[in-house]
Amino acid sequence: TLLHLLSGLDKPTSGSLTYDGKDIYRFNDKELSSFRRRRIGFIFQQFNLLPVLTAKENIIMPLLLDKKQPDEVYLNQLTELLGIRERLTHLPHELSGGQQQRVAIARALIAKPDIIFADEPTGNLDSKSGGEVMEMLQSIWKKMGKTLVIITHDSRIARMADRQFVIVDGVLSEVTER
């Protein structure tokens, strides 16, 4: 719920959420969709890849929806960093779970968003692939200077963060002791 509220996927019953001084809940549906495509990257637990599109097509889909062509140099850097450059012509069912999640990460980053929301990004992966994905997310966060918000129930992943928050009985609070 928190991720959905912070990203504008759901509207709260009260309150506001501002990005650059603008309340995103005042945007109409078209403006909100455009805002999310351009400013927010999403990494979902279920990957949400389109099965009839290749890995590359899945990655560049947000750009195509905005009628933009991908920056091929950036696409190559991104897919090299994620270790999937040799898999771009494959369909999702031809990729391992870890590779599918890397495609989803590349899709989240292709529009160079300000913030990336990751909802249980390792939830559908074995521990080895999950560890690799988390290492990649940390690397991206450090190398690209992106804000990364991870929603997780896994305390090992939470401990990797600079700041941790918990929700208990609907109340959000920061974890001050580690």
Q: Which tokens in the block code for residue 168? A: 């208990």
Q: What is the pTM (predicted TM-score) of this model? A: 0.83
CATH code for the domain in which residue 70 is found: 3.40.50.300
Q: What is the mean pLDDT of each run of 10 residues along the chain (178 residues)?
A: 87 88 92 90 87 97 92 93 93 93 92 89 77 78 81 82 86 81
Alpha-carbon span 125 to 67, nearest angstrom: 33
Residue 126 structural domain: 2-175
Task: Say how many domains are in the chain.
Answer: 1
pLDDT (0 to 100) of residue 49: 95
CA distances (Å), origin 43, targets 14, 73, 172: 26, 22, 22
Alpha-carbon span 119 to 139, nearest angstrom: 18
